[in-house]
């Protein structure tokens, strides 16, 4: 068996185990970034297909909204069990479709399992508050109700985790889901859909709670514009968010945006440098720089910058770049040739601004048609325009600072606001950073990537302001009602108003 047919066979086998029968062909070619192998061809969905899927989901909502939340939780519990059973199949598909190394692919599936656990617990904790009423004999409270059909639009780089953050929570909140995955990762989506359908059969949940629609932005637009979609949860580039948000707003729909980041870490003179280097290298080079939380800017105190750069450069030279299925590889492929062109262009612009590439940034020859690069470490004289942009590839820009106020100002002076961290052993510095970082995620002594599902995930500014996953993110998937109940025999009006 040659390498190409091997990958195709592996994909078909993993899909088969998850219960997916691959269709015979179609206009959507699915290629693996590992070596460019065409893994499958799938039919694209039309606007009519999307309309039908939303119609089914809207009908399922009528039933699902009346199922008590703890009973809805049983569906998610069963899904979690199936995800455990098929963890290695899904991880294999993630590596095949995205090129993540197996350990990161398995970690992504583990996130799905974890968020199912979280959502099952949540199904008994969709709490509303009771507030003291200003009127005697009255009860004032809020209750939370299912919202409607949720449209999930997801990016290529977390092809299954982002779906699960949305879907596990949406389902316990009483909402069906119509999912448009990235056009480059439809196979993992079909596998998730098959597992969820099986879970629904096993627990006797209504038909039509979940649909996958395949295609590009046009299919996404059909979801975005449909008034039956109560919430559009869209993950992807800032460019996409700018197009989606006004369209949803025009119909007064709800939008949850998880967009690009340009994440930074500050390294102070007191930092534990062994720990810092490990944290920085994983955050900046892991997943070949293709996480929304990838570390892209390192702001280092002048007194230690030479040492830090030298140590990171040394660690970079030991990173093995190559086929993610090969033992010992830590950096897999970029998703496309276009990503490499974006990286090349950013490095040229950085050089024109006076930047110096200290390590990496080169194309690495790996057999097949995959696009492989060595992660780049670039010293910059300042935070120029290119540094303020998100280039979705492994480039880490190093900037220098003299005092913490300057470092935090540099940190916040970009349009995005997703993840951030500080490496320091000085509590005062750590607390100052936590109170002043303008990101949705701020860490101390760990890198910017690799969040846990228990916290709310998301960012500010151009990152879109949405929050998914843990904490009280579920509130985005429900509607709140304020209820006042009069159990007295009088009818006192609020604010002491007299009428008649």
State the catalytic residues.
258
Cβ of residue 486: shortest distance to ligand NAD, in angstroms? Answer: 45
CB atoms within 10 A of CB 103: 12
* C-beta of residue 141 within 8 angstroms of C-beta of residue 131: yes
Report the residue number, 301 or 411, with the smaller CB distance to ligand NAD. Answer: 411
How many whole angstroms separate alpha carbon 197 and alpha carbon 195?
Answer: 5
Collapsing DSSP to helix, strand or coil, 125 comes out as coil
How many whole angstroms separate alpha carbon 5 and alpha carbon 361?
Answer: 31
Q: For residue 163, state whether it binds ligand NAD (rule: CB under 6 A).
A: no
Q: For residue 33, state whether it binds ligand NAD (rule: CB under 6 A).
A: no
How many whole angstroms separate alpha carbon 80 and alpha carbon 85?
Answer: 9
User: Which of 130-138, 240-248, 264-272, 321-329 is the region at the interface with ligand NAD (rule: CB under 6 A)?
Assistant: 240-248
Q: For residue 292, state whether it binds ligand NAD (rule: CB under 6 A).
A: yes
User: Which of 51-59, 104-112, 253-261, 404-412 is the region at the interface with ligand NAD (rule: CB under 6 A)?
Assistant: 253-261
How many whole angstroms separate alpha carbon 314 and alpha carbon 198?
Answer: 49
- How many residues does this entry show for the chain? 500
User: Which of 46-54, 214-222, 266-274, 366-374 is the region at the interface with ligand NAD (rule: CB under 6 A)?
Assistant: 214-222
DSSP string, 6-49: HHHHHHHHHHHHHTPPPPS--SEEEE-TTT--EEEEEPPP-HHH
Q: At what angle do helices 273-285 and 305-317 cross, to 10 degrees?
A: 50
Cβ of residue 249: shortest distance to ligand NAD, in angstroms? Answer: 14
Cβ of residue 152: shortest distance to ligand NAD, in angstroms? Answer: 9
Q: For residue 371, state whether it binds ligand NAD (rule: CB under 6 A).
A: no
Question: What are 232's two structure tokens?
Answer: 């559009």
Dihedral (C-alpha) 97, 100, 104, 105: value to the nearest 10 degrees?
10
**Site of tokens 């989901």:** 57
User: Which of 7-15, 76-84, 219-227, 442-450 is the region at the interface with ligand NAD (rule: CB under 6 A)?
Assistant: 219-227
Identify the CA nearest to 124 among candidates 172, 160, 55, 62: 172
Cβ of residue 455: shortest distance to ligand NAD, in angstroms? Answer: 13
Question: What are 20's two structure tokens?
Answer: 């997916």
- Phi, psi angle pair for 369, to nearest 5°: -105, 30
CA 167 vs CA 63, 92, 152, 162, 406: distances in Å: 17, 21, 8, 9, 41
Candidates 89, 111, 175, 390; binder of ligand NAD (CB under 6 A) is 390
Candidates 236, 322, 375, 417; binder of ligand NAD (CB under 6 A) is 236
Q: For residue 156, state whether it binds ligand NAD (rule: CB under 6 A).
A: yes
Q: For residue 417, state whether it binds ligand NAD (rule: CB under 6 A).
A: no
Q: For residue 157, state whether it binds ligand NAD (rule: CB under 6 A).
A: yes
- Lay out the site mask for ligand NAD across 425-464 (x = CB under 6 A, - = otherwise): --------------------------------------x-
Candidates 57, 149, 153, 231; binder of ligand NAD (CB under 6 A) is 153
The contact set with ligand NAD (CB under 6 A) reads 153-158, 162, 180, 182-183, 216-217, 220-221, 224, 235-237, 240, 243-244, 258-261, 292, 390, 392, 418, 463
């Amino acid at each position: 068996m040659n390498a190409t047919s091997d990958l195709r066979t592996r994909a078909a086998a993993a899909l088969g185990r998850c219960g997916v029968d691959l269709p015979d062909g179609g206009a959507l070619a699915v290629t693996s970034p590992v070596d460019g192998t065409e893994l499958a061809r799938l039919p694209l969905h039309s606007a009519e297909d999307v309309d039908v899927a939303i119609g089914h989901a809207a009908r399922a909502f009528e039933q699902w909204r009346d199922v008590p939340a703890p009973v809805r939780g049983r569906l998610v519990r069963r899904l979690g069990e199936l995800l455990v059973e098929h963890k290695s199949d899904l991880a294999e598909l993630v590596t095949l479709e995205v090129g993540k190394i197996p350990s990161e692919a398995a970690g992504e599936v583990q996130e799905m399992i974890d968020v199912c656990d979280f959502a099952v617990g949540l199904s008994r904790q969709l709490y509303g508050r009771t507030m003291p009423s200003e009127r005697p004999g009255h009860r004032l409270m809020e209750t939370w109700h299912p919202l409607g059909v949720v449209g999930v639009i997801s990016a290529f780089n977390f092809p299954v985790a982002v779906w699960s953050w949305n879907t596990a929570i949406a389902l316990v909140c009483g909402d069906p889901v119509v999912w448009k995955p990235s056009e480059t990762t439809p196979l993992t989506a079909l596998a998730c859909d098959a597992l969820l359908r099986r879970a629904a059969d096993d627990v006797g949940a209504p038909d039509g709670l979940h649909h996958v629609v395949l295609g590009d932005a046009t299919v996404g637009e059909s979801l975005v514009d449909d008034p039956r979609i109560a919430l559009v949860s869209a993950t992807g580039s800032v460019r996409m968010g700018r197009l989606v948000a006004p369209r949803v707003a025009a119909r007064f729909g709800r939008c949850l945006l998880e967009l690009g980041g340009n994440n930074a870490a500050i390294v102070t003179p007191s930092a534990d440098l062994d720990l810092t280097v490990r944290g920085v290298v994983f955050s900046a080079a892991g997943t070949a720089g293709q996480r929304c939380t990838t570390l892209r800017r390192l702001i280092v105190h002048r007194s230690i910058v030479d040492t830090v750069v030298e140590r990171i450069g040394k660690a970079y030279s030991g990173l093995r770049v190559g086929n993610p299925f090969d033992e010992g590889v830590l950096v897999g492929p970029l998703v496309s040739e276009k990503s490499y062109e974006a990286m090349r262009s950013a490095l040229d612009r950085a050089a024109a601004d006076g930047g110096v590439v200290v390590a990496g940034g080169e194309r690495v020859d790996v057999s097949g048609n995959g696009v492989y690069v060595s992660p780049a470490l670039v010293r910059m004289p300042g935070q120029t325009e290119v540094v303020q942009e998100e280039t979705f590839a492994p480039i880490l820009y190093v900037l220098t600072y003299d005092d913490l106020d300057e470092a935090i100002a540099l940190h916040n002076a970009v349009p995005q606001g997703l993840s951030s961290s500080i490496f320091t052993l000085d509590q005062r510095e750590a607390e100052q950073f936590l109170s002043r970082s303008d990101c949705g995620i701020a860490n101390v002594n760990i890198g910017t990537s690799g969040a846990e599902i228990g916290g709310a995930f998301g960012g500010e500014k151009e990152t879109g302001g949405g929050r998914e996953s843990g904490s009280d993110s579920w509130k985005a998937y429900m509607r709140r009602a304020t209820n006042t109940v009069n159990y007295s025999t009088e009818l006192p009006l609020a604010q002491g108003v007299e009428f008649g």
